[in-house]
Amino acid sequence: MHQHPKDILKKVWGFPDFKNSQEDIIGAVLEGQDVMALLPTGGGKSLCYQVPALAREGICIVVSPLIALIRNQVDTLKKLGIKAIALTGGISFEEVNNLLDNCLYGNYKFLYLSPERLQQELVKERIRQMNVNLIAIDEAHCISQWGNDFRPAYLECHILKELAPNAPMIALTATATETVVKDICENLHLEQPLVVKDSFSRNNITFSVCLEEDKKYRLKELCAQTNTSTIVYVRSRKMTMELSYYLTRQGHTATFFHGGISKKDKDSRLNQWLENKVKIMVATNAFGMGIDKPDVGLVVHYQIPDSMENYFQEAGRAGRDGKPARAVLITNLTDEAQVRKQFLGVLPNVDFLKLLYRKLANYFQIPFGEGSGETYQLPFNAFCETYKLNTTLTYNGLRLLDQNSVISLTEAFSQKTTIRMLASKHQIFDYLDKNQASAPIIQTILRTYGGVFDFDTKINSLLISRKANKSEKEVITVLEKLEKDEIIEYHAQHSDLEITFLVPREDERTINIFAKKIKQIQQVKKDNVESMLSYIKDGNLCRSRHILNYFGETANANCGKCDVCLQKNPIGNEVLKIIEQDILQVLMVKKESSRSLMKLLSYKESSIILALQRLLEEQRIRVNSINQYEIIKK
């Protein structure tokens, strides 16, 4: 060992001391012990492997799931004067070879790579030759089939133990249940690991659930109440754009971020937000991983997440500077049905997987006992149409067959065809008059996709063809002509999938091998959604305590500031009477809506609502036909 960890911490990062369990974790790693570290978002996970890696000769191998996260980490290390390399996608064989040479001979301290890179013989061979001082598996919950972001490639991470047998391994995650922790340790072959779990308590964050029919109005009000940086999480690319435009129209500085925008736009928008040139980032859930922005004062979930793990990790991006912050989930009565449909309605069960596998084999005319190693192009839409299969359910089924090594599935399919209208509605009507043969298809698109004038909108050419009673080929021809005539912006992605059958056809027997596991995984996903809905509906237990209980941690005291705690501490009767009188004074002058009253009066919103309820019960006021409160004249 060349330097003391605290000296490195102070010299490189400028921190005088470690926090929570960081010092214990680093000490164990430097003693050569494997470690499983559960640290909450903002808990300083990266220092737990970066400091010990700098304290010893050699290079640290870091496996991470997101390219954006890898790039951010490498850029940060370079700014600190530390030599780090990233093996991301889109790099030629020759460049990979050169980068690995640098790791061997260039005195580099960190090699970041995605788990998929461990499938390359060149990468594995070079790692064998390196002086590896530590192996770090970041976002380690991705290795567990009981976790929320399972990636099959992560199951190969244990090979690093063989490639660098003398290096300790540290697995790190911000969210994991006991089952997931056990699965991580087993899959990575950790040897008698030190398991460290810091408290998940975030005392500076006020967690709240807001029931609101007009969610946009509530979002606008929350953003207006917050002066610092804000993240708004949604579950679709279209919604990121829609809410960003809405907030901009309301006078806020806002932009959006999702996986479909170009790298240039991603970098530009991220930098605008990081430099506080834009206050609000509306994003899909991958945004924020590995991005250390300490002054986020508000995180809003506009739609219900699929699990408590994801919710807590995303909400935990608020208040990393230790200052008071808010995490608000806005929901309404229709959201529960939507979340069940979105996450549970498209889970393939064992019977569907058997049907899907049989249809695949029949489609390519594969005889029983044959097919192993054969590769085919699968026209996905045509396949689903032939057998009347739900497209989302079918794609999820193909992914499960891929994860269980029945087939190998290409990844490019996740990209879809998108269009956006460039012409105005008036120009389109003129175009329809001159191109009447195309009219049924164009009209079908306009009726089916409402946001096509405002956003890059995903379309399904097969669905359009069915609705317009035309062939899919005719639809594509019309789209290509519309693009040529500058009526639309058109990005076409090939809908074919390339699949390779990895085992001989045995129909039910093929699926029965992993049927039990599929049932267990599906149950976990259902339990995840139910746990999230339970959190939302729980009006008795403090939000912070509910979260900690979920992660197996006991909190003895309520936070005193979440929506549940505030409801349990109602305002006094005398104060309520004063609010009632103020409401009546306003209504004597003019009829007002509840929103207007909240703007006119300086009391808490919950107190005004309570006062209105009492005045209604006492029949001193009523609600008229346009939802305004008015005094009942006696």
- Asked if 501 and 401 count as a contact pair (C-beta separation under 8 A), the reply is no
> What is the overall mean pLDDT for the chain?
87
Structural Rg of the chain based on CA atoms: 28
Model pLDDT, residue 205: 92
Listed by start position, the domains of the chain span 5-197, 205-332, 343-414+496-524, 418-491, 570-631
The dihedral formed by the CA atoms of 258, 262, 264 and 270, expressed in degrees to the nearest 10: 0
Determine contact, residues 24/170, Cβ cutoff 8 Å: no
Q: Is 398 exposed, middle or buried (0-12, 13-18, 19+ CB in 10 A)?
A: buried
- Residue scoring higher pLDDT (410 or 211): 211
Cβ contacts of residue 221 below 8 Å, gap of 6+? Answer: none
Highest mean pLDDT among 346-360, 390-404, 569-583: 346-360
CATH H superfamily, domain 205-332: P-loop containing nucleotide triphosphate hydrolases (3.40.50.300)
- The predicted model gives 374-383 an average pLDDT of 86
pLDDT band at 89 (very low <50, low <70, confident <90, very high): low
Phi-psi region of 502 (alpha: psi -120 to 50; beta: other; left: phi over 0): alpha
Which one, of 460, 427, 429, lies nearest residue 445 by Cα? 460
Residue 342 confidence (pLDDT) above 90: no
Q: In the chain, pLDDT over 70 holds for what percent of residues?
A: 95
- CA dist 256 and 254 (Å) reads 7
Residue 73: beta bridge partners? none
Higher local confidence (pLDDT), 232 or 582: 232
Residue 539 structure tokens: 């009006």
Lowest-confidence segment of 91-95, 415-419, 433-437, 473-477 by average pLDDT: 415-419
Contact between 455 and 242 under an 8 Å Cβ cutoff? The reply is yes
Q: What is the pLDDT of residue 570?
A: 65
How would CATH label the architecture of 343-414+496-524? Orthogonal Bundle (1.10)
- Asked if pLDDT for residue 510 goes beyond 90, the answer is yes
pLDDT score, position 495 = 56
> Tokens 């009673």 belong to which residue?
469
Q: What percent of the chain has pLDDT over 90?
A: 38
Closest CA to 229 of 320, 344, 333: 320
Confidence check: pLDDT of 10 > 70: yes
Q: Write the single-letter amino acid at 527.
A: D
Residue 543, classified by CB atoms within 10 Å of its CB into exposed (0-12), middle (13-18) or buried (19+), is buried
pLDDT digits (tens, 9 = 90+) for 165-220: 999 999 998 877 788 889 899 999 999 999 998 888 888 899 999 988 889 999 99
- pLDDT value at position 569? 65
pLDDT value at residue 147: 61
Residue type present at position 632: I
Residue 160: is its pLDDT beyond 90? yes
This model's pTM is above 0.75: no
Write the single-letter amino acid at 68: A
> 193 with 159: CB under 8 angstroms?
no
Identify the band that residue 411 occupies on the pLDDT scale cut at 50, 70 and 90: low
Q: In the CATH scheme, what architecture does the domain 570-631 have? A: Orthogonal Bundle (1.10)
Question: Is the model's pLDDT at 328 over the cut of 90?
Answer: yes
**Residue 515 confidence (pLDDT) above 90:** yes
- Neighbour tally for 10: CB within 10 Å: 13
Helix (H, G, I), strand (E, B) or coil at 556: coil
Is residue 370 within 8 Å of 321, Cβ to Cβ?
no
Q: What average pLDDT score do residues 273-302 get?
A: 88
H helix runs in 538-601, sequence order: 543-550, 563-568, 573-589, 594-600
- Report pLDDT for 37: 94
Q: Give the per-residue pLDDT at 414.
A: 46
Q: Place 1 in a pLDDT band, splitting at 50, 70 and 90.
A: very low
**Mean pLDDT computed over 390-405:** 88
Q: For the residues 413-429, what does the mean pLDDT come to?
A: 78
SS3 content of the chain, % helix, strand, coil (to 5): 50, 15, 35
What band does 233 get if pLDDT is binned at 50, 70 and 90? very high
Other Cβ atoms within 10 Å of 122 Cβ, number: 12
For residue 13, how far is the Cα from the chain centroid? 29
Length of the chain: 634
pLDDT at 128 over 90: yes
pLDDT level of residue 67 (50, 70, 90 thresholds): confident
User: Are 343-414+496-524 and 570-631 in the same CATH fold?
Assistant: yes
Please give the Cα distance from 61 to 111 (Å, whole number): 5
Q: Is 288 strand, coil or helix? A: coil
Distance of CA 182 to the CA centre of its chain: 24
Residues 282-296 have a mean pLDDT of 81
Least confident of 242-246, 307-311, 340-344: 340-344
Phi, psi (rounded to 5 degrees) for 388: 55, 50
> What is the CB-side half-sphere exposure of residue 413 using CA atoms within 13 A?
21
pLDDT for residue 543:
94
What's residue 327's pLDDT? Answer: 95
3-state secondary structure 96-150: HHHHHHHHHHCCCCEEEECHHHHHCHHHHHHHHHCCEEEEEECCHHHHCCCCCCC
156 compared with 126, residue with greater pLDDT: 126
Q: Which CATH architecture has domain 5-197?
A: 3-Layer(aba) Sandwich (3.40)
Residue 603 above 80 pLDDT?
no
